[in-house]
Structure 1
Amino acid sequence: MGINYHTPSECGQPSTPRKWRTDRKFIPTEIYGKDQDLDKIEWQAGYSILVACPRAGYKCADCGSPSVHVGALVVAVDGTCRSTPQVWGPSAIGVYFAKDSPWNVVKRRNKPIATSQTAELQACMAALEMAMIIKERTLEQELSQIIIKAHSNYVCRGITEWTAKWARNGWKNAKGLPVANGELFQEVEMKIKDLNEMGVEILFWQVMRSQNQDAENLANSAFDSMRRS
């Protein structure tokens, strides 16, 4: 059984432009219902994982094949750091587009880094940079939505809730101090705006760690290669 590809208008949804979410959140229960099957929301197709169409139980009503929307990619990200309270260590990021995808990103940074939160933001930035390459240089002309999947509360809530408040406060926190990792958050914001101007909506999907193993495994593999070298 193959995969049934279509645009929203081809599955009975209005052909008028879809309004983007102002909160940038991807919330499956609002799209697929409270009893959604997370294993059926994502389907690999070629180099990417596409998000399932919520109609007809995620399947085409005519042929029964998994039904997905072209141009709606799910990208899993994770960043990790081998620091301790006493010693700074290297960090690594993993960006997972799909199994064996050439778009996957694995990077290790040997320069000292303060926290895993910084690495998580760097992984998010790497995903957005790759999304821009896909939009500009490949045949993915249909690309209209990137869903960043992460188990990091810091990244997901930071981008969807906190950055707007920090920007209004001149990138100061509630204590009037500079926001930690403020420069990185601002870089992520600028990259999101760049993609928005190219017609790509960016959403964030916060999941449990167990649902983000692909990206976590990629990040950890950078340390595995370091031990072998």
Structure 2
Amino acid sequence: MKREHSPSDGVDRKSHDMHTPHRSGRPPGNCNRFPGPYYLDSGGDEDNLEVVGLNEFVHVRCHFASPQACPCGRYACHLDSMIVAVDGACPGNGSDLAVRSACGVYFGPEDDDDFNLRNMALRVPDEPGMSHTSQRAELWAAVAALWASDKYAESGGQWPCEVPEGCKAPCRLSHLVIKSDSAYLVNSMTGAINKWKTNGWLTTKKTPVANRDLWELLLKRVAYLDKLGVTVDWWLVPRKENEEADGLANAGLCRKSLALRDIFSVFQD
């Protein structure tokens, strides 16, 4: 879906301007599909959901934004939102050739001389008793995205707020959208996972849920962000609309395999 760059104009938070970037606050619910009724019932444009902001993060386009950009190219977006794309890669998935996997996390465009790197291409660690699969790689990517987003929920940084001159406090994250081409990930996080928990982590066929360890880790990360006042939604897109994260995941295959403790230290930096 098309992404438009927002301008560098100031933000009037007292009015809901159709072109000016502004804070939106936390959407209702948690772990819902994006875009949901909250967005679409307000007239949100389903074909233009992403806006690249001043710090090169991808934000949710305001659901009250004008359907057409003004002459200066402006689209209103939510400063306190982020859309983070994730993907996994596992050559030879489902066969004996699947001996490595990796995940990609895409926060937004980066220049070659960008010293504030945030996009991630990570090799999935070799875990005792666990096989490398594309599904586990996709879940690892989502874990990485949630973990790396903590700091924006805690102290902001996804939008260049001037404190205290322009803002009383940093513009902290309140709406995180995880974008993925994995129906397995999105369908599970927006529905099936609640049934699994209720059933003692058993499927409808009374068999153990696969990858339970990572599902539980995802739930812990969502719960932590919830305590910080962040709604996490999940967006299923076609593979062709997730090329940036896909490229990062494939790049991660060439990285050195990390231990779990090293993976988590990357998120905390």
Deviates more, 1:180-189 or 1:15-24: 15-24
Residue identity in the other structure for 1:99: P
Cα distance, 1:139 vs. partner?
A: 3.9
Residues 1:10 and 2:15 are matched in the alignment: yes
2: CA distance, partners of 1:224 / 1:16: 40
Percent of aligned pairs with the same amino acid: 29
Give the direction of change, closer, same or farther, for the CA distance of 1:174–1:60 in structure 2 (3 Å limit).
same
Give the direction of change, closer, same or farther, for the CA distance of 1:138–1:18 in structure 2 (3 Å limit).
closer
Cα distance, 1:136 vs. partner?
A: 2.8
Cα distance, 1:102 vs. partner?
A: 1.6
Alignment of structure 1 residues 54-73 onto 2, 5 Å: 54-57=63-66, 65-73=74-82
Q: TM-score, normalised by structure 1?
A: 0.83
Number of equivalences:
224
Residue identity in the other structure for 1:102: L
Instruction: State which of 94, 98, 107 in structure 1 corresponds to 2:108.
Output: 98
Instruction: State which of 31, 48, 55 in structure 1 corresponds to 2:57.
Output: 48
Which secondary structure does the structure 1 equivalent of 2:131 belong to?
coil
Instruction: State which of 20, 33, 38 in structure 2 corresponds to 1:25.
Output: 33
Instruction: State which of 89, 111, 118 in structure 1 corresponds to 2:136.
Output: 118
Instruction: State which of 220, 223, 228 in structure 1 corresponds to 2:253.
Output: 223
2: CA distance, partners of 1:180 / 1:5: 48
Which secondary structure does the structure 2 equivalent of 1:179 belong to?
coil
Q: Deviations over 1:170-228 (max 9, x none)?
A: 001112121001111111011101100000110001000000001001111123567xx
2: CA distance, partners of 1:24 / 1:207: 15
Which secondary structure does the structure 2 equivalent of 1:148 belong to?
strand
2: CA distance, partners of 1:49 / 1:125: 19
2: CA distance, partners of 1:107 / 1:16: 32
Cα distance, 1:25 vs. partner?
A: 1.2
8 Å CA contact retained: 2:26, 2:231: no
Q: Deviations over 1:55-101 (max 9, x none)?
A: 24256779762211111100000011123413331111100001116
Give the direction of change, closer, same or farther, for the CA distance of 1:213–1:89 in structure 2 (3 Å limit).
same
2: CA distance, partners of 1:135 / 1:22: 15
2: CA distance, partners of 1:7 / 1:154: 40
Q: TM-score, normalised by structure 2?
A: 0.72
Cα distance, 1:109 vs. partner?
A: 2.9
Match of 2:151 in 1: 133
2: CA distance, partners of 1:66 / 1:5: 13
Gaps of 5+ in 1: none
Give the direction of change, closer, same or farther, for the CA distance of 1:123–1:185 in structure 2 (3 Å limit).
same
Cα distance, 1:22 vs. partner?
A: 4.7
8 Å CA contact retained: 2:90, 2:102: yes
User: CA RMSD of the aligned region, Å?
Assistant: 3.1
Q: Deviations over 1:109-158 (max 9, x none)?
A: 36273310000000000000001123235545421111000000000001
Give the direction of change, closer, same or farther, for the CA distance of 1:62–1:223 in structure 2 (3 Å limit).
closer
Bigger proportion of residues as helix: 1
Which secondary structure does the structure 1 equivalent of 2:78 belong to?
strand
8 Å CA contact retained: 1:75, 1:147: yes
8 Å CA contact retained: 2:31, 2:232: no
Residue identity in the other structure for 1:24: N
